[in-house]
A and B are shown apart, each in its own frame.
Chain A
Amino acid sequence: MPHQVPWLIFLLPLFSFILVSFILRPFFNHRPKLGGYVTIAAIGTACVLSFWVVAEVFGAPGHKLEIPDIQWLLISDFSIHIGLMIDSLTAVMLVVVTVVSLMVQIYSQGYMEGDPGYHRYYAFMSLFTACMLGLVMADNLVFMYLFWEGVGLCSYLLIGFWFHKPSAADAAKKAFIVTRFGDLGFLAAILLLFYTTGTFDIEELHGLAIAGVLAGTTLTWVAIGIFAGAVGKSAQFPLHVWLPDAMEGPTPVSSLIHAATMVAAGVFLVARMYPLFEYSEVALTTVAVIGGFTAIFAASMGLVMTDIKRVLAYSTISQLGYMMLGLGTGGIAIGMFHLFNHAFFKCLLFLGAGSVNHSTGTFDIREMGGLRKVMPWTYATFLIASLSIAGIWPLSGFWSKDEIVVSSFANNPILFYLAMITVFMTAFYMFRVIFLTFGGEYRGGASSEHGSHEPHESSRVMVIPMVVLAVLAVFSGWLNVTGAFGAFMGHGEVCGFAEGFFGILTHPLPLISLLLAGLGILLAYAMYSAKWVSAEAVGRAFRPLYTLLYRKYWFDELYEKVIVVRVLVDGLCAALDFFDARVVDGAVNGVGDGTAAAGNALRRVQTGQLQVYVMAIAVGVVAIAVFCYLFG
């Protein structure tokens, strides 16, 4: 394989961004579809090339390709190289990102039809994909951080795509600022690493951690810092608040953010720097605990949300928690395998939600209902994705979720119970959405800029990507039934199930989790379809709990009223303001005032009297003469 191929994977979406934003948008704005075609062509080619790279990586010794570096910066004798790191982890991410992105772009052709910002949308989407591809291929932390921030920027631009809506603008700011808190930790970790080791190169850092040069407290702090970055990007507790609000963007954007780009970056980062975590017990435990807690914490809020996209958002946070739990208790392969499967079914769920919104004009599941008959394709694919996320055998979610459950059972019993309860909750909230959206009778929908009041199946351009993703959501899990995916990731941990495809059903742990998922579905059926139990009555019976969940544990209020207003505005900002007004401005004004005062005093010398000046000249000449005579 020529070395240019991996570069092209990154450069094609970047070129598409440049082409769409600098040529198509200004000069071909009357042909909006053109931008979409360019982006789809670029990402489609990148997708094909990604599969080529995977094939090459699969055949390469150690599942690793050597790509020559290019020198970027030379600062005295220290040089920063631009290089690509193509190993199995990168290869898997390349496939996930390009496939999901391609499906989303195709779907967007239908979803965004008629939007005045069509070219802008595709330009940002291209850039978003390019940044994520750069992030997964970067071989040093500086480069990675660059794309890390690039991904953050693009998510800001896309969440705030409809910036004329104040809620969208606020959500974009929130996403950007909240993740910034995590990025601070990541940046500190990079600087600490460089201070300690003098290198940014990821492979060298791996080597140093494995050799034990990088160890002890430093390693722990570095790992925690990196994890802080991942917590921000992957919306883990306590920085989870931005993701549900990120729903303000167009639905395909949410789909891309939740499946392949933004939030996957955090999990990927931990996986990429995994050797650093492995040698620090504290860091690894932190990852597992935060992940396990986030999984159940977010799932509990997902139980009561009435906005279909918000339910999905909390489910993403919860699933990301699972991935972190998998990384913390199992290893790269287990966490990444869930990311791989989750990307397809979560993308599909969001595309389904977008399709439903397109037809009913609302995201509120209380206003939907009965869509099973009018939107059979959407219903079928959404159902498959829901079964997959709920972990029903033999869909993909089952295989990766049970890997995580099994590994947490072996390592941390408390987290295992949390994960089990989460399985139940996941099944419940997903099927609550299904029964409310697709079951029963149509409850009217709402009017909006999209679609009419009369529900209808979405156009073919939207349905086809959903079908492709549904196929992937069924089969992607089969890659690791016996551990093939884990062997490819090549980190040595045990994964897969020795029992095989059918034998798994005799394994007790997967059986229990299946049972719990089944119970969740049954409860949802009882409450929202058969109405054996009234949902309102349950809500009333547990009023305080319901309010707690519905108000999202008051985290938004806590952050806004206490942290932002009290700590930041009244505390930190007031102190900084004082410093700025008194010390910085004082110094600047002091220089100005001093100069003015000196000038005021000295200008009296200018008397306007010619003879005074001549006198000064004469005295000066005499003084110089005397000086020369005495010292010359």
Chain B
Amino acid sequence: MARAKVNILGIACNWSPYCCYNAAGQAGLELPPNFRLMRVMCIGRINQALILRAFESGADGLIVLECEDADCRYGPGPEVGHSNVARVRRLLHYLGIGQERLVEKTFLADQKQELVDTLWDFTAEIEAMGPNPANPQRERKAS
């Protein structure tokens, strides 16, 4: 079956999820070719606007990679993430983009194989759904 060309964005916390990502790279595990990663110091840094902006800018799927609640280096990071993801999922549902295009997953620092499997599964789901119906609407930039 021909698969649609889709853009997958991951937003990863610098600590456990990025640790997994780094270890996966060192172990030579293959990642989906259309997956891009954005590293942040903590998922608590991400707000609803940044997630929406990704979809506005042409992301077809976005996976938020978090630490477990109890593992947060800063405090309430993952809880902030859950709240933001839940709200943006609802907005994506209203917008007709589909809440399935935004998911969150938590990882412990030694779960590199789980991370890689999750990314392949998510990519397959988004490829099956096809491109995001919101045409990329880029903001006008200074000329």
Do these two chains interact? no
**Which residues of A are in contact with B by a Cβ distance under 8 Å?**
none
